[in-house]
């Protein structure tokens, strides 16, 4: 059987969305061909057209003009100094382009034949532009378009560029093509219009987003990596950079191609951090600006010299909460009896021989005195008591910075003493920056000082899981449960880990227990929602179809449209199919395909249902063929396509597929049944009988197959008796 080449020709015809995606380039083409025009606006809807200018909404003629252009009654209209063009697209739609500000004398002299010719040239040039800007393999925008987009970008646009590398496992061309198309589908599902998606080659994608705060960037990268890992991507690396004026104190920041260079640098760093990692260029270019930047080496050496002869001491770092100056001037008079060292606007103070209780009282006293001066300045403190766990003397200044991060959780005018919780917080900071190796070190050091801390075990387990160290991650979650057997996060995380390993029954056990105790756990409602989603999927995959429907319907009432909505409708379809509710299964699968038209599982199952319910053999055949195009190695898909071929009398095509299916033990009985039924249709009862007998000898025959085999065998014997 001839296999279809895995790279079909991507249609390059102009669509409505192209006029908006390439709007700036299209505008340049119009300016080049139609001189003196000053403004170009593109509209698809009448409402947007009328709202754009007061003259359009107040003059009924323009409504008629717009409708005439949309209905293709006229290719262009010139009125009141405006040129309105109606440009037809491949999807049988039409966009209206409004040209304004042209010289009146030019409009007066413009002939119809000249404008007809220009419209043809404009559309031809725009068509060539699209061909040059779209990748032929994926249908996404290509590197040429990315360069153009970045080159024309302004710092006021607040752009974020993220490069996403998804290296395939296989070196096979066919498998790589399939994997690339799956990655495209996953990224489209994740971003859902929030980003302009480009394919720049070798399974690397560029996402251009309008982003704001840095924490949004970190959350975006982290959630993208987690989503792609959950969906089965073997490795995920993300490198990003932001184009924003004044970022981290810069007066100006690079734009255009520099932004691409920065993201590429960050991507290379991320690829060295592990199989699932991300990195932002800012953390590489300005390490001193990061929350956990190391203190000045000169200050560290000075403090280390002071501390070396001491057996025990406490070191305090004072800092203004709002970042303004004044801390040194305020604190120094209050600590004149102790050695102190300035570091920028911060102040280190060494208190020899003070234990935890003494330093706590002393810091409270100092902060109280500062607060008594008024609300103009707000000061917090980070404290490190030595000795503590395995920290060295030279580390104590850095530990004070970590303790200050800890103090931020308590609000302004707060203090924190460095402990195992501080290790957890600093580990979370490294995790948020995508540096999983440093995060693991922090979590493990925290566990050295407090081996029974459940949060540290959970944090370490999640990080190890992202590093593909699955067994170690499981051990962390089990250690957390050994301390607290009803810990929601440990149960939830262990369930996710088992799910990733394919141990679905174990995953259901842990997640179901987490679900039972959810009301008593103080957790983010989004986790509860995700728990329902995961349980819905897992119950479907383990045959608990009624339970799966309950979890999924609860999840659908909690959330609006998300990246998982299409997947959920697919699993609903599977549930209804197995519960013998074909009509509801069809509805769910059709919804799933509206979200993702390239879901081969939904395509195949919907094709089977259309065939089973006699909704149209042609449609069923096309759906099953499409599913095999998307997954050409799937034997089960070939089996059900063969069943359709047998039913329509295309036994030659069916035989080629069934020969493949016969090699797989789990499909052998059904394949033998279809072979027999095919020979019956061909009028070869003797050969059909032989295949029915072979099918009947298979072990553990499903009831519906056994019934069909027995009925077919009886029919063959009856035919032979009458011959």
Extract the tokens encoding 560. 């609006």
User: Do residues 635 and 627 touch, judged by C-beta distance below 8 A?
Assistant: no
CB atoms within 10 A of CB 373: 10
**Residues 111 and 185 grouped into a single domain:** no
Structure tokens belonging to residue 331: 């604190």
Radius of gyration of the chain (CA): 33
Distance CA 195, CA 565 (A): 19
Asked whether the beta carbons of 412 and 321 are under 8 A apart, the reply is yes
Range of the domain at 409: 297-426
Specify the pLDDT at position 670.
92
The answer to whether residue 77 is domain-embedded is yes
Give the pLDDT score at 324. Answer: 56
Token pair 């100056």 is found at: 325
* The model scores a pTM over 0.85: no
For 277, the enclosing helix (H) or strand (E) is: strand 276-280
Contact predicate 203/137, CB 8 Å:
no
Verify that 89 and 23 share a domain, yes or no: yes
Domain-terminating residue out of 257, 289, 321: 289
Nearest to 123 by CA among 257, 13, 261: 13
Boundary-marking domain end, from 256, 289, 322:
289
Name the CA dihedral angle for 493, 494, 498, 499, rounded to a multiple of 10 degrees.
-30
Q: Quick: pLDDT tens for 651-678.
A: 999 999 999 999 998 999 999 999 999 9
**Residue 261 domain-assigned?**
yes
Output the pLDDT for position 216: 64
What is the per-residue pLDDT for 561? 66
Do 128 and 193 lie in one domain? The reply is no
Domain CATH number, residue 268: 3.30.70.270
My answer on whether 271 and 316 are in the same domain is no
- Enumerate residues 6+ apart whose C-beta is below 8 A from 673: 691, 692, 695, 705, 708, 709, 712
Cα separation of 163 and 204, whole Å? 7
For the stretch 305-336, pLDDT in tens is: 999 999 999 999 998 887 555 677 778 888 88
The answer to whether 280 and 241 are in contact (CB under 8 A) is: yes
Q: What are phi and psi of 42, to 5 degrees?
A: -120, 135
> Do 117 and 153 belong together in one domain?
no
The DSSP bridge pattern shows strands 415-417 and 379-386 to be parallel
pLDDT value of residue 215: 46
Q: Indicate the residue among 133, 154, 175 that finishes a domain.
A: 133
CATH code of the domain in which 55 resides: 3.30.70
What is residue 538's predicted lDDT score, i.e. its pLDDT? 94
CA-based nearest residue to 158, from 220, 241, 218: 241
N- to C-terminal Cα separation, the chain: 35
> In terms of domains, do 179 and 204 share one?
yes
Q: Is residue 573 part of a domain?
A: no
Do the Cβ atoms of 474 and 461 come closer than 8 Å? yes
Task: State residue 247's pLDDT score.
Answer: 46
Strands, E, within 202-274: which ranges?
204-210, 236-243
| 555 within some domain | no
Of 471, 440, 469, the residue nearest 457 (C-alpha) = 440
- Let me know whether 190 and 264 are in one domain: yes
Q: What is the pLDDT of residue 590?
A: 93
- Angle, nearest 10°, between helix axes 635-647 and 651-661? 150
114 and 35 share one domain: yes
Determine the distance from the C-alpha atom of residue 636 to the mean position of all C-alpha atoms in its chain, rounded to a whole number: 29
Residues 269, 387 within the same domain: no
- Decide: helix, strand or coil at residue 631: coil
Asked whether 545 and 578 are in contact (CB, 8 A), the reply is yes
Do both 98 and 41 map to the same domain? yes
Residue ranges for the chain with pLDDT beneath 50: 213-215, 246-252, 254
Q: Which two tokens stand for residue 313?
A: 């001491």
Domain count, the chain: 4
671 and 660 in contact (C-beta within 8 Å)? no
Give pLDDT, residue 256: 63
207 shares its domain with 325? no
Q: Are residues 43 and 154 in the same domain?
A: no
């Amino acid at each position: 059987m001839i296999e279809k080449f895995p790279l079909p020709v991507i249609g390059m015809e102009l669509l409505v969305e192209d006029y908006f995606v390439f709007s700036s380039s299209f505008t340049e083409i119009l300016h080049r061909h139609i001189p003196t025009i000053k403004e170009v606006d593109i509209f698809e809807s009448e409402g947007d057209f009328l709202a754009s200018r007061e003259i359009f909404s107040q003059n009924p003629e323009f409504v008629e003009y717009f409708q005439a252009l949309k209905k293709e009654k006229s290719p262009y209209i010139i009125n009141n100094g405006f040129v309105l063009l109606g440009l037809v697209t491949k999807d049988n739609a039409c966009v209206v382009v409004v040209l304004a500000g042209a010289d009146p004398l030019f409009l007066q002299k413009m002939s119809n034949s000249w404008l007809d010719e220009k419209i043809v040239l404009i559309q031809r040039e725009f068509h060539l532009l699209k061909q040059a800007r779209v990748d032929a393999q994926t249908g996404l925008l290509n590197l040429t378009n990315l360069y153009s987009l970045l080159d024309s970008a302004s710092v006021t646009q607040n752009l974020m560029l993220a490069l996403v590398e998804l290296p395939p496992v296989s070196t096979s061309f066919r498998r790589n093509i399939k994997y690339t198309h799956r990655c495209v589908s996953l990224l489209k599902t994740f971003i859902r219009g929030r980003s302009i998606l480009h394919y720049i080659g070798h399974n690397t994608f560029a996402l251009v987003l309008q982003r704001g705060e840095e924490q949004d960037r970190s959350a975006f990268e982290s959630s993208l990596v987690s989503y792609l890992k959950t969906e089965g991507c073997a490795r995920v690396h993300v490198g990003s950079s932001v184009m924003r004026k004044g970022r981290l104190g810069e007066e100006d920041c690079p734009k255009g191609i520099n932004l691409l260079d920065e993201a590429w640098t960050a991507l290379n760093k991320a690829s060295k951090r592990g199989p699932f990692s991300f990195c932002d260029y800012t953390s590489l270019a300005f390490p001193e600006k990061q929350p956990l930047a190391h203190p000045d080496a000169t200050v560290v050496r000075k403090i280390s010299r002071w501390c070396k002869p001491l057996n025990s001491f406490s070191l305090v770092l004072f800092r203004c909460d709002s970042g303004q100056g004044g801390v040194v001037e305020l604190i120094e008079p209050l600590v004149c009896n102790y050695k102190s060292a300035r570091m920028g606007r911060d102040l280190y103070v060494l208190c020899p021989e003070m234990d935890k209780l003494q330093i706590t009282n002393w810091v409270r006293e100092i902060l109280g005195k500062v607060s008594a001066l008024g609300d103009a300045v707000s000061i917090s403190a980070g404290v490190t008591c030595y000795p503590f766990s395995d920290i060295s003397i030279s580390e104590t200044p850095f530990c004070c910075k970590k303790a200050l991060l800890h103090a931020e959780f308590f609000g302004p005018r707060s203090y924190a003493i460095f402990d195992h919780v501080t290790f957890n917080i600093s580990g979370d900071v490294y995790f948020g920056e995508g540096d999983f190796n440093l995060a693991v070190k922090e979590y493990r050091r925290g566990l050295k000082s407090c081996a029974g801390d459940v949060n540290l075990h959970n944090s370490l387990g999640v990080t190890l899981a992202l590093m593909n160290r699955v067994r170690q991650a499981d051990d962390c979650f089990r250690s957390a449960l050994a301390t607290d057997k009803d810990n929601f996060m440990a149960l939830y995380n262990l369930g996710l880990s088992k799910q990733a390993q394919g141990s679905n029954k174990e995953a259901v056990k842990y997640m179901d227990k987490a679900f039972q105790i959810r009301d008593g756990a103080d957790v983010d409602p989004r986790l509860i929602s995700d728990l329902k989603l995961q349980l819905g999927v897992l119950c479907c995959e383990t045959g608990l179809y009624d339970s799966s429907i309950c979890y999924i319907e609860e999840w659908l009432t909690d959330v609006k449209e998300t990246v998982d909505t299409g997947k959920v409708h697919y699993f609903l379809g599977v549930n209804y199919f197995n519960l013998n509710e074909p009509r509801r299964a069809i509805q769910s699968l059709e919804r799933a395909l509206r979200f993702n038209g390239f879901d081969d599982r939904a395509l195949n199952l919907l094709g089977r249902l259309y065939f089973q319910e006699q909704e149209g053999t042609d449609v069923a055949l096309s759906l099953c063929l499409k599913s095999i195009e998307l997954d050409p190695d799937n034997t089960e898909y070939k089996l059900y396509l063969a069943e359709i071929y047998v039913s329509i009398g295309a036994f030659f095509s069916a035989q080629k597929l069934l020969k493949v299916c016969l090699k797989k033990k789990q499909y052998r009985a059904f394949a033998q049944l279809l072979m027999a039924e095919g020979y019956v249709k061909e009028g070869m009862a003797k050969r059909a009988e032989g295949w029915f007998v072979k099918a009947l000898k298979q072990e553990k025959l499903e009831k519906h197959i056994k019934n069909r085999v027995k009925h077919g065998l009886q029919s063959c014997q009856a035919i032979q008796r009458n011959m």
